[in-house]
Amino acid sequence: MSSTARITSIAMKMLAKRGGKTDPTPQQNLRDAGLTSLDMVNLMLALEAEFNVEFPQSAMTPENFDTIAAIDALLAMLPKAA
């Protein structure tokens, strides 16, 4: 499964809990789709676990987590955790 599909799957599960759009496009803003600030933190934690990475403090910006495409680009730049 591609990283985009894995990110989308996690986001879809979170959106389903909120009753939001459950099939976001890669370019759709996840907050506009229905995720709250707390959901975004939970998304970040879920992504760290799913991809076995740790997001550096400097990467924890709204822009890096606005869309599935932005998250995918960020993940591509991170080293994998040991």
20 or 13: whose pLDDT is higher? 13
- Which residue ranges form the domains of the chain, and what is each CATH number? 3-77 (1.10.1200.10)
pTM, rounded to two decimals: 0.88
Say how many CA atoms lie within 13 Å of 30 toward its Cβ: 31
In tens, the pLDDT along 20-79 reads: 667 889 999 999 999 999 999 999 999 999 999 999 999 999 999 999 999 999 999 987
